[in-house]
Every structure is written in structure tokens, then in C-alpha cells.
Amino acid sequence: MITKDQIIEVAKQCFDPEIPVNIWDLGLIYDIEIAPDSSKVTIRMSLTSQHCPAAQSIPEDFKSRIISTLKIKDVDVKIVFDPPWTPERISEAGKKKLGLLEEE
């Protein structure tokens, strides 16, 4: 059985080429749905901007990594902008990496 944690680990390997933080810690992943038999994964995600130059490559990279790493053939990555992404969605680890939080 595929788990959300496994999908999250894959997301942590995908990066926006302009930002040195993975798409999970950027808060770009809004929802992960896994079919009960693990045959299909549907992901709702956003981008930092509707005009993101990597709008095609980021979701495709994520989808390809899920397929190759977890051996799931049916992966649907949907790009949504509702709610719009904001910097508040960045995880604490991401904010530290970006220098938005003081290191302890």
C-alpha cells in the first residue's frame, strides 16, 4: 500500500529551480488522495505564481518521480490557484533555509 508519507518523501526531492526549497516545504502540495487499492494518486498542488516559468516542469517532475519511485502508473497532478499560495504556507524548515527565520 502506498502512503501519503511516501508521496511526501517524493515531494521533498522536487524543487522549484529558482528556490532552494523542496515543493513540500514550500507548501505547494494542498492535497494527496490515494485510491484504496493504491492504483491511482491524485494530487492538488499550486505554484508560487500563476506566471511561474517552471509551471510545466515542476508538476511533471513530481509526477515522473512518483511513477518511477513508487511504481504507480496512474498519477494525476492538478495545478490549482484556489486558495492562492502565500509565503505563510512555507514550513518552518523551509523558512529557515530561506533565511526567513532565525536559526536556533
Q: 82-100 pLDDT, tens per residue?
A: 999 999 999 999 999 998 8
The CATH number that applies at residue 33 is: 3.30.300.130
Residue 30 neighbours by CB under 8 Å, 6+ apart = 44, 45, 46, 80, 83
Is 98 inside a domain boundary? no
By residue range, what is the domain housing residue 19?
4-84
Is 101 inside a domain boundary? no
Q: What is the pTM of this model?
A: 0.91
Q: What is the pLDDT of residue 75?
A: 97
- Count of domains forming the chain: 1
User: Which residue matches cell numbers 515531494?
Assistant: 11
Is 89 inside a domain boundary? no
